[in-house]
Structure 1
């Protein structure tokens, strides 16, 4: 029985006899460790009872914290109430205003809450400007109902020195650039970051995966790059193509275990290929790899463009 297990492990994992013995010893040690662990865990002791009591105390403290969060002390409620009353005490006076020059106090008079008026003021202090009425809705959390009420009173006056900026902004909106087609095997990061949703990190990751792969042979392989969502993949497939790829191949009969580095070749599979070759001789074609049980038809199909014999 032991001999059969030894032969099965050698065949399945590509181990020699010494490695197989070490693997069996490791399994025995793991089984002993977990047996001792289960015995200690299932045995009742004072320490476990103390831990349970400590856990109950922590749970009671957690419940207390949740109740405090749901029912804050009266001092916090009174502060919030005073802030709301202070804002509600400001009389609403609708009048014509220019959001580019209106102060925080003027914006509050129009019915804007203090946080919104201050947010608009911070936007302007950083150089932001409103060129049309609809630009107000670009302010984060600007209420649609408030905007509809203020439309008749909004007047936008662009300063003379800002007219050129406004004109160029409108032209950019009307004439968006259409990216040109590119070969996925020759494109660089500068070209990739022009696509929607791709920054410098994703662009570098795409180029790096292409280099490790040894060139793309199918556009669908772009889906294998880590971190690309479906929208980014669609954007790449829309402009990317593959034409006469120069694939870097691995010689199965000459390469050592260290030389068989490829995204489709796991280390244990590469080791199984080398051991099988040493025991049975060189491979004649891709069909010979089917004798290695660890290589599924799907893996063989993906590897075929990257192997030579």
Structure 2
């Protein structure tokens, strides 16, 4: 018992040392608490700043996205799709009225026409009409003093005497509603390449000619004289010569040569439809230029 008790008996120096040790432990724990708390707060502040930066970037991207989605770019109201109409705020009935009007091959040429056809409210019209973009020949019709756009104005109603398109002059073509000097030159150049036109349907495949201009062309002209047409001997000409035909290209000429070699020649339109790359929408026109 005395031996055990001796373990708990300390001298004055021992007690002082133990007391000092306890003080050091206490202050050490206290320092650790305050230091760790301070470091934790600094870490939180740093993380908060980083999160704020990320959040600011997210908010900025959101604003850009919303702005991008809300932006309306200039457009021709004659070609509004169901989806675009919905995005612009048109009702299903209003979009349907526009499509029914366009199915009659008619066009709206002003905001007033658009409202008359679709029956949209003034509020919707005022919102979207500033973005309407009509062709130049429509927007400049009212400028009667401008000679530059005079050719686009509706012609006075006079009795039309139809002409053979293959003998039409540059002036005859410029007299057509919607055709100016450049288009007239383009039509004459196309006629020269082909040796002449074989069908009035050919103008549907010429870039830059509006539906209104095609209608007026068909009223004023027809195909009569085809003596100057350059017939293409599709079973005889080499690939290089076939590729020169305006409706063909090198790749199609190659397919033609392969097909006629493997099938003992091309006999009719039905054979043409079997050739890879043949523009079938123009095939009736192309056939009129061929010798089988």
Q: Same fold (TM over 0.5)?
A: no
- Structure 1 or 2, whichever has the larger Rg, is 2
TM-score (norm 2): 0.42
Higher relative contact order (CA 8 A, sep 6+): 1
TM, length-normalised to structure 1: 0.40
